[in-house]
């Protein structure tokens, strides 16, 4: 059911000024175009900032680039260098990879293409054919690929992991993770861990049982699977009443992080199911809404931290864990920073799972605070009712799946935050295989632009907000920080902008004419730094205006 589409015709690449056009001489990238991406290259990705070798740039997911040709004093001289029109007319949520001058872009619903990173000239395109009876929750999305050696790995909406030759676009193998007819799907970029491809699953609104998988990168055979809801042979299964664990959700639908030194994979889990009706699943509902730390070789659970026990507001904890070393109480700790959908910003010891601190970063009315172990102290009368109860944040959260960023230079954590609220209501709902299973819903009481949406810079040592930059209305763009002391982001009304990473001052912006739902990334070819972003169904790449002697 899969096929490869070779592009052998002339493509016109259009957009604003500085756009490249050209003939496609071959559907195959020349062997010399890029070197195989070895495990050593991935572990040391920070040392080759001209490339962007994985979804979040590096295993610690800082989304920080050491490139500084574009900096806070010349970013206003950015101009468009090229655009590439995606063939699919769905929204683009992709973060491209760049390897030695070759860019790999995913497009909705489950396609990937290779282009010249300096010109946008296409090499090949692979299209994964999908069944017509897909059951998906939240859009025909694909957010990116992983690479190891000469092979790309892509998740697909029909719950497959596909391996594609990065030089030709030919399909090498495809492994089915689950039955899409029951609501299972895959939208996130996989993560390479040594010789394995670690990949999550989506479909929490369909009463699935979540899991995280690791596949042999060469053969596509599954090496391990860790369920995010423990079965009846595990004591933590008692956190689910009756058989509710069987349809309890807890998906893993965004890419995680990895610490090579500790050999721990960190991944977030989504909400329990049904989303809003907790009466049918009494208990904490482990390990929904949690950070999991798993052994990279076996998938064994090392530790977990649950952000929102017994979630009844759809506050998935699928945000990307950001790893760094941070001085806490006079001692340098290996920490994980996490701006959670429940509107609290957490710092956790990533070796042990010990809770270190937690502070609100967005509007919240559901908790008095967090206790000494990081467990929320709930306010009464905030659970959904048949009539509706007003709670902040709303179901979209204080933030959502948008990628945050962290700059080692400023030591600030940057997150796209939202101060929304909604009335949450509950209803009885019977589980039916392959049908949505939410048990209620929410309704905002005011227009969307009545709520504040902003980039916020957080000091992770204190949780204090250093600055904010408002981007009204609610915006779904991820963020990028660079050694040029810039934070890049986008807006729902189509603007791409650059902020001073220290002060939050706007330094530059341009209208792209379509919603930005992706995260920016940066790379360099032949000594020139580019900054790329997808907006609508177009990928744009910017560089500095060339100086004329």
Please choose, from the candidates 320, 99, 290, the residue with its C-alpha nearest in 3D space to the C-alpha of residue 188.
320
DSSP letters along 414-446, please? EEEEE---EEEEE------TTS---SEEEE-SS
| Residue 298 to residue 411: CA distance in whole angstroms | 34
Tally of CB atoms within 10 A around 200: 28
| Residue 342 to residue 355: CA distance in whole angstroms | 16
Is 314 among the residues known to form the active site? yes
| Residue 402 to residue 253: CA distance in whole angstroms | 12
Q: Is 348 helix (H, G, I), strand (E, B) or coil?
A: strand
Tell which phi-psi region holds residue 341, choosing left (phi > 0), alpha (psi between -120 and 50) or beta: alpha
Active-site hit among 275, 314, 394, 419:
314
| Residue 547 to residue 549: CA distance in whole angstroms | 6
Tell which phi-psi region holds residue 434, choosing left (phi > 0), alpha (psi between -120 and 50) or beta: left
DSSP for residue 295: E
Q: Is 31 helix (H, G, I), strand (E, B) or coil?
A: helix
Burial class (CB in 10 A: 0-12, 13-18, 19+), 17: exposed
Instruction: Count Cα atoms within 13 angstroms, Cβ side, for 463.
Output: 16
Instruction: Name the residues annotated as catalytic.
Output: 314
């Amino acid at each position: 059911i899969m096929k490869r589409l070779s592009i052998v015709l002339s493509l016109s690449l259009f957009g604003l000024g500085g756009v490249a056009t050209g003939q496609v001489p071959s559907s195959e990238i020349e062997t010399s175009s890029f070197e195989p991406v070895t495990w050593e290259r991935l572990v040391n990705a920070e040392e080759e900032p001209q490339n962007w070798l994985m979804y979040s740039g590096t295993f610690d997911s800082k989304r920080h680039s050491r490139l500084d040709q574009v900096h806070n004093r010349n970013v206003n001289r950015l101009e468009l260098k090229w655009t590439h029109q995606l063939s699919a007319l769905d929204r683009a949520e992709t973060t491209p990879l760049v390897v030695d001058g070759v860019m790999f872009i995913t497009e909705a619903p489950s396609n990937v293409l290779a282009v010249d990173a300096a010109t946008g000239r296409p090499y090949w395109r692979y299209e994964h054919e999908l069944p017509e009876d897909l059951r998906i929750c939240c859009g025909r999305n694909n957010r990116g690929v992983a690479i190891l050696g000469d092979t790309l790995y892509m998740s697909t909406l029909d719950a497959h992991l596909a391996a594609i030759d990065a030089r030709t676009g030919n399909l090498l193998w495809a492994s089915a993770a689950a039955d899409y007819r029951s609501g299972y799907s895959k939208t996130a970029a996989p993560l390479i861990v040594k010789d394995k491809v670690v990949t999550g699953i989506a479909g929490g609104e369909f009463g699935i049982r979540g899991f995280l998988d690791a596949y042999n990168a060469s053969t596509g055979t599954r090496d391990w699977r860790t369920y995010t809801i423990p079965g009846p042979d595990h004591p933590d299964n008692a956190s689910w009443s009756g058989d509710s664990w069987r349809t309890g959700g807890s998906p893993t639908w965004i890419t995680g992080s990895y610490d090579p030194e500790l050999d721990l994979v960190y991944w977030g889990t989504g909400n329990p199911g049904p989303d809003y009706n907790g009466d049918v699943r009494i208990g904490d509902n482990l390990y929904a809404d949690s950070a999991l730390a798993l052994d990279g070789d076996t998938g064994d659970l090392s530790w977990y931290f649950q952000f929102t026990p017994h979630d009844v507001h759809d506050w998935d904890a699928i945000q990307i864990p950001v790893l760094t070393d941070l001085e806490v109480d006079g001692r340098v700790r290996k920490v994980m920073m996490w701006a959670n959908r429940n509107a609290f910003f957490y710092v956790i010891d990533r070796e042990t799972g010990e809770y270190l601190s937690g502070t609100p970063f967005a509007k919240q009315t559901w908790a008095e605070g967090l206790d000494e172990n990081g467990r929320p102290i709930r306010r009464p009368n905030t659970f959904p009712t048949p009539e509706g109860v007003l709670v902040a944040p709303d179901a979209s959260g204080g933030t959502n799946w948008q990628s945050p960023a962290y700059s080692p230079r400023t030591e600030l954590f940057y997150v796209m935050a939202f101060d929304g609220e909604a009335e949450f209501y509950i209803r009885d709902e019977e589980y039916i295989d392959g049908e949505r299973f939410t048990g209620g819903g929410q309704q905002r009481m005011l227009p969307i632009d009545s709520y504040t949406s902003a980039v916020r810079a957080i000091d992770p040592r204190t949780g204090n907000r250093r600055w904010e930059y408002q981007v009204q209305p609610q915006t779904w763009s991820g963020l990028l920080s660079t050694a040029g002391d810039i934070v890049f982001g986008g807006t729902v009304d189509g603007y791409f902008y650059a902020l001073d990473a220290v002060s939050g001052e706007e330094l530059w912006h341009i209208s792209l004419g379509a919603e930005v739902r992706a995260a920016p990334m940066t790379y360099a070819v032949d000594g020139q730094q580019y900054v790329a972003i997808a907006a609508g169904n177009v990928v744009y790449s910017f560089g500095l205006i060339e100086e004329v002697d």
